[in-house]
Structure 1
Amino acid sequence: MRFTAVLVFLTLAIVANVVNGLYFELNGGQTKCFIEENPKDTMLLGKYVLEDMNPPNGQVNTQLALTVRVQDPEKRELLSKTMGASGRFAFTTQMGGEHKICFSTNTSKWFGPSVKTRLHLDIEAGASANDYEEIAKLEQLSSMEIAIRRLNDRINQIRKEQSYQKGREIVFRNTSESTNARVMWWSILQLIVLVLTGVWQMKHLKSFFKAKKLV
């Protein structure tokens, strides 16, 4: 019983959801983008609420809409979606790297001031994006089983992160070694040019002195 309690405690401590929560102003005609760097086959879930900072007559503005666009590291579009004043969006990375997530609203106007809005945004990645309560209902899992499921998903995500970082390290090392080799060969080339230039100048001066009968 004690071992079970310890296991549950450690599981909850390890797999505590990591949520990137923030809010910012997003006025009409503006587009704001963020970079999320994740390994391949990682699901990202975004939850948002778009708030009118100056609602007409103090009422809730139900006409607000948010457009979300996502590009992968190769500038290919993964997601382009227009939604209401609140909602959620999700996508799964097809390759590792920096994914660009952009937000814009429908609040720009030809005449008069643009509507000022505030976007409340939470982005969850990997195992944190899974709805384990829904999974438990669908698969009829016990609290212990769902805790183990959380832990397993978290471990798999950590392995993906490690593999991704290892790949980046290999790329950076190869780039560094290639740069160092180029610098070395460029220095050698400069040295050879300087030596050849010095030899040529000495021969030229010697011929000049002989022509002037100074030697």
Structure 2
Amino acid sequence: MNLGAKKVIFSLFLYFNYVLSLHIYIGPDESRCFYEDLPKETLVVGKFKTYAFDNDKNDYGVASTDVQIEIEVTETFDSDHAVVHQKLPGNGEFVFTSLGSGEHKFCFTPRADKKRLQAGDDKLNKFRFFLDLVIGEANDYTDSKKTDTINYLNEKIKIINLKLREIKRHQESIRDKEKEFRNTSEAVNLQVVKWTIFQMLILILIGVYQLNYLSGYFKKQKIL
């Protein structure tokens, strides 16, 4: 393959799928915008991280969770029609599909806690913002999302199966206890019936004995 063909293939790859990466230094409530031409029905995936400036270390430390990023994407060719308007945590991602072909305006604004800003929290005064924007075919992204969803559902199914097995064991335990209770009740009832019959027989025998005794007694006394 000659050099010209390689350049054509590389250019086609960049056209159909490319990544725009940038990082900026920005303050709270300060907007930074850039423009990008997008074809119609193009999938755009943005992943970003925000780092707060640490005065003690004089450096931008770990990714901040104390700030939200307001994201706005508008179509400049259609009277600044808003395609995306979201407020997300400082570390996150957003996804959208372009509705029309033309220039799009991307704006990002950090929103920090105003009470903490008024209290003089130095960790919310300056931020370093990183953005990776995948434009075009995002099969890897969608496939990873599908994989994450499948893994999540598999975990949920495992948990449900464990709960079902636990419920089944509990039901079997209840059935065993009911069976044991029923057998005990039947045994007790049988003993009660036997004891009742035995008592009735004793009473009958006592009655017969008393009748015979009284009959003999009265005969001796010549009453009968």
Aligned to 1:101: 106
Q: Return the offset for 1:34.
A: 1.1
Check 1:99–1:130 CA distance in 2 against 1; reply closer, same or farther (3 A cut): farther
Kept in 2, the 8 Å contact 1:67–1:105? The answer is yes
Counterpart Cα distance in 2 of 1:98 and 1:34: 10
1:68 equivalent among 71, 95, 99: 71
CA RMSD of aligned residues (A): 3.5
Counterpart Cα distance in 2 of 1:133 and 1:40: 22
Q: Read off the aligned partner of 2:53 and give its amino acid letter.
A: M
Please give the secondary structure, in 2, of the residue aligned with 1:53.
Answer: strand
Check 1:126–1:87 CA distance in 2 against 1; reply closer, same or farther (3 A cut): same
% same residue:
23
Please give the secondary structure, in 2, of the residue aligned with 1:106.
Answer: strand
Work out whether 1:80 is the aligned partner of 2:85: yes
Q: Return the offset for 1:137.
A: 5.3
Q: Which runs of 5+ in 1 are unaligned?
A: 1-9, 139-215
Q: Which runs of 5+ in 2 are unaligned?
A: 1-8, 149-224
Check 1:55–1:120 CA distance in 2 against 1; reply closer, same or farther (3 A cut): farther
Matches for 1:110-129 after TM superposition, within 5 Å: 110=118, 112=120, 115-128=125-138
Matches for 1:93-172 after TM superposition, within 5 Å: 93-107=98-112, 109-110=117-118, 112=120, 115-128=125-138, 130-131=140-141, 133-134=143-144
Kept in 2, the 8 Å contact 1:62–1:85? The answer is yes
Aligned to 1:186: none
Q: Return the offset for 1:128.
A: 3.9
Q: Read off the aligned partner of 2:101 and give its amino acid letter.
A: G
Check 1:63–1:71 CA distance in 2 against 1; reply closer, same or farther (3 A cut): same
Q: Alpha-carbon deviations, 1:126-147, whole Å to 9, x = none?
A: 1146526438859xxxxxxxxx
Q: Return the offset for 1:63.
A: 1.3
Number of residues of Structure 1 aligned to a counterpart in Structure 2: 129
Check 1:135–1:59 CA distance in 2 against 1; reply closer, same or farther (3 A cut): closer
Q: Read off the aligned partner of 1:72 and give its amino acid letter.
A: E
Q: Return the offset for 1:62.
A: 2.4
Kept in 1, the 8 Å contact 2:68–2:88? The answer is yes
Kept in 1, the 8 Å contact 2:63–2:91? The answer is no
Please give the secondary structure, in 2, of the residue aligned with 1:18.
Answer: strand
Kept in 1, the 8 Å contact 2:42–2:135? The answer is yes
**TM-score, scaled to structure 2:** 0.48
Please give the secondary structure, in 1, of the residue aligned with 2:67.
Answer: coil
